[in-house]
Amino acid sequence: MFKELQSKVNAILSNADSSIENRLQAVCELLKTTVPHYDWVGFYFKNGDKEELKLGPYAGKPTDHTIIPFGKGICGQVAISNQNFVVPDVSAQDNYIACSITVKSEIVVPLFLNGQNVGQIDIDSNTPDPFTGQDERFLEFVNQNVAKIIQGYLE
């Protein structure tokens, strides 16, 4: 499944006739509708010079968490650690920000631009412990390709 998705993601991201925001939104929608255990898919980006993340394009239920301070929740921890964070059971995490009572697990993969952590892709799942190394590799692939187009988007 992920091999097929890679070419679809590249096709979306390489469509220069579409705005960066629209391309990122299309990637979120594609992942949410195609991967059965991806119930919420979104991008968070560093909010200027502030030590916080700001919600970008996403697909899924609206969230109140449009700003996340560094260190808070899974996303905020990834902003500091620069490491993938896979949470098989969100109820077992002390530093977790609940977006919905239906969420059972989460994966967050940092997005690097010129060696700097500038954001991340965040996936919530209503399925307990669904994420594998294949999810991680695929989301790293997505972020590497998003990084190629977002230089101007973040400025």
Mean pLDDT of the chain: 93
Q: Is residue 61 part of a domain?
A: yes
Cα dihedral 114, 115, 120, 121 in deg (nearest 10): 80
Highest mean pLDDT among 28-37, 62-71, 97-106: 28-37
pLDDT for position 92: 82
Give the structural domain span for 69: 2-147
pLDDT for position 41: 98
pLDDT at 98 over 90: no
pLDDT at 108 over 90: yes
Q: Is residue 154 part of a domain?
A: no
Q: Is residue 153 part of a domain?
A: no
What is the per-residue pLDDT across 22-39, written as a single tens digit (0 to 9) for each? 999 999 999 999 999 999
The whole-model pTM stands at 0.95
pLDDT at 71 over 90: yes
Q: Structural domain tally of the chain? A: 1
SS3 per residue for the chain: CHHHHHHHHHHHHCCCCCCHHHHHHHHHHHHHHHCCCCCEEEEEEECCCCCEEEEEEEECCCCCCCEEECCCHHHHHHHHHCCCEEECCHHHCCCCCCCCCCCCEEEEEEEEECCEEEEEEEEEECCCCCCCHHHHHHHHHHHHHHHCCCCCCCC
pLDDT for position 29: 98
What is the per-residue pLDDT across 121-147, written as a single tens digit (0 to 9) for each? 999 999 999 999 999 999 999 999 999
Tell me, what CATH number does 88's domain have? 3.30.450.40
